[in-house]
Amino acid sequence: MAGILEEPIPLGEHEDPRFVTEADLRHDNVLGSSRLVVTDQRVYRYESTPLGEQLLASYEMARLTNPRLEDLVDANSLVADYDGTTVELIRTTSKRSLQVAGAEKRLKALLEGKEMPDVEDNMRVCPRCARPLPEFSDVCEGCVNRGQTLLRLFAYAKPYRGRLLWGTILTLGGTFLELAPPKLTQWLVDDVLIRRRTDVFVWLILGLIATRLVVMAVQVARGRNVALLGMRITVSIRGSLFEKLQTLSLAYYDKRNVGSIMSRMTNDTGALYDVLVDGIPVLLNQAAMLIGIPTALFLMNWHIAIWALIPVPFVMLAVRWFRRKMMRVWSRFWHNWSRLGGTLNGILQGTRVVKAFHGEKREVNRFERRITDLARTGYVAESAWSTFFPVVMFTMSISTFVVWWVGGNGVLAGHMTIGQLTAFIAYIAMLQQPLMMLQRIIDWSSRALTAAERVFEVMDTPIDIQNAEDAVSLPKIEGAVKFTDVHFGYDKAREVLHGIDLDVAPGEMIGLVGPSGAGKSTLINLLMRFYDPTQGKVEVDGVDLKKINLQDFRRQVGVVLQESYLFPGSIKDNISYGRPEATLEEVIGAAKAANAHNFIISFPDGYDSYVGERGQRLSGGERQRIAIARAILHNPKILVLDEATASVDTETERMIQEALERLIENRTVFAIAHRLSTLRNADRLVVIDDGKIAEVGTHDELLAIDGGIYKKLVEMQQEVNKLRANFIAAE
């Protein structure tokens, strides 16, 4: 039954909704509310129309199969097969893709007769402004409290209370001393020059000189104090940020580029150092001056002080408005800086590909667009400051004119002395400096608080892979692994694994085979607990992996990847990475077992040879054997081999295979390989297809299945090998 009906059809008798999903697109791709109502008997699709909510279509549950998500242009659609025809059940914009993804999982469970899973299908929004929240943070960028950010920044200074107190004393003392020269000048004019008192003339001059010398000494001491304090606080912030980055799971890094993270570690924390060393000390000093100068003016002559300070409230209101504007500008600036860092990092890492495909000009153009965006944002900030600052200075200069007018009339009328007028003019001139610095401090604080928010956004990211409160200590595992109804997707709206069930005995070798993108590496990522299943569980020795102490588990799991990463440093350091305390004899033993010892000692520096960035001084086969030596020395109980012999020549593959045979003894092994011949000795082969286990058995058992996936893969590989052999023979 399809087509919009004049009246909504009510649910059938005894029909209760199992779940309801709201969406924001109609079937004609026009924005509008729609609903998917699912019962045990039928699926109903309602849409809003000018006449009200209408039933667009309904389908019998018994005739629906294979519900799945389809990508549209900036939208998503939930479709299913209905009597051999594909039908659309609901459509939504990408903004609400989680709702449709949740509906797919629930509907799939109902069709399979399973219990509906608990899924997160509600869009996370700010409770104050309803803006969507960042995926990895509960902090709304539009509602963030800058005052709290500043207080949080100061929290890093708590261990240095003594230096803070000393700095405060220096600031207040320096402010008091800076207010002394105008008063001394007043005495010099009224009591010495006008009355011609030569007895105190020299002393007042010496007093002015001494005051300036003491002020200079205080400024030097204050500057050295804040430099040390700023350095220590910045080290603390950078250390905390790096420690936080080490605790975050791979899911966090999947959605961020290295350049953006590097920008937060270097540029953002560098901006914090600038404001801690230059901004905050100056702010405290000038704030004290803003309090001290008006106080001195009122004590001298409150009538003239009122006239002189009339422009100040207007300047403060303008400053507040300008600060808010600059926060938005600097937020865009740091965002563009992160994009520039990400672009630069990608280009530099892909230099070989760029040159191989003659992409230099294209990358130059792309980089120029990034630096132009950054420069434009910086220009907006600096031009705004250059416009605002002269206006403020002109406004404050009005105070000088007012003092000259009112104070001059007071002198002429005999109500004010020339020394008082001179002191007033001096104080007004001094008042312009803190107001001028206040504008620059706004510039500093806008940069720093925006940078601080970006740093704290990382620190506030919830840690999704961590020890449970009731974590179980397993200092020695046997190696039994069990997957039970495991579902998982890197994106919450896209599931990669669908209901994986697999029981592996201790010491068993499992070969994982299947087409690219089938989910083999994803299964390994869950076993390594780089991610947690969205549904189901992974058990080791009968204990849920989420309940096992992470340190205990990771100490007993080893991995050899297709592209093994080597850290800049010596060969010895890389082999002993999992066991830094290992002796040289143990390192050499592991290298011999990995067939790596001979080529290592052929280097001039032997085991102290520098491997270069990412191990680029070594060949692919050499890097792979060092990675195997690293795994052997680590002595894991569960071993993961992910394409460990890919991309190497035949001789190197033979040596790697010999090393692997020594490595897999008495261990539970999960091996992924596209060269299926390398998995002949596996106890069982598990064929993964489209996120599901399609076949399980030995090499011979799977070959005996007519039309089986494994048999097709073997036949395809044999054809490729024949073509390769014919090509070599033709040469």
Give the torsion sign (CA, 232, 237, 242, 243): positive
- In this predicted structure, what is the pLDDT of residue 229? 81
Euclidean distance between CA atoms 88 and 360, whole angstroms: 45
Res. 481: pLDDT tops 90 = yes
Residue 501 main-chain phi, psi, to 5 deg:
-125, 120
Domains, the chain:
19-111 (2.30.29.30), 146-459 (1.20.1560.10), 467-556+668-731 (3.40.50.300)
Model confidence pLDDT, tens digit, residues 597-630: 888 999 888 898 888 777 778 887 888 888 888 8
Longest dimension (CA), the chain: 120
Q: Which one-letter DSSP state was computed for residue 404? A: H
pLDDT confidence tier of residue 7, bands split at 50, 70 and 90: very low
The residue-averaged pLDDT of 492-516 equals: 86
| DSSP per-residue letters across 439-502 | HHHHHHHHHHHHHHHHHHHHHTS--SS---TTPBP-SS----EEEEEEEE-SBTTB-SEEEEEE
User: Which of 422-431, 531-540, 563-572 has the least mean pLDDT?
Assistant: 422-431
* Residue type, position 678, single letter: T
pLDDT confidence tier of residue 8, bands split at 50, 70 and 90: very low
- High-pLDDT (> 70) share of the chain, %: 80
Q: Which residues contact 198 (CB under 8 A, 6 or more apart)?
A: 192
Kindly report the average pLDDT of the chain as a whole number: 78
- Residue 502 to residues 527, 528, 684: CA-CA distances in angstroms? 12, 15, 11
Count CB neighbours of 655 within 10 A.
20
pLDDT confidence tier of residue 580, bands split at 50, 70 and 90: confident
- High-pLDDT (> 90) share of the chain, %: 5
H/E run at residue 136 = none
Alpha helices, H only, 60-139: 97-111
- In this predicted structure, what is the pLDDT of residue 296? 81
- In this predicted structure, what is the pLDDT of residue 480? 92
Res. 187: pLDDT tops 70 = yes
- In this predicted structure, what is the pLDDT of residue 502? 93
- More confident site: 89 or 12: 89
User: Which of 592-601, 636-645, 681-690 has the least mean pLDDT?
Assistant: 636-645
Q: Which residues contact 186 (CB under 8 A, 6 or more apart)?
A: 417, 419, 420, 422, 423
- In this predicted structure, what is the pLDDT of residue 411? 76
Question: Which has the closest alpha carbon to 603: 651, 649, 563, 571?
Answer: 571
- In this predicted structure, what is the pLDDT of residue 2? 38
Res. 203: pLDDT tops 60 = yes
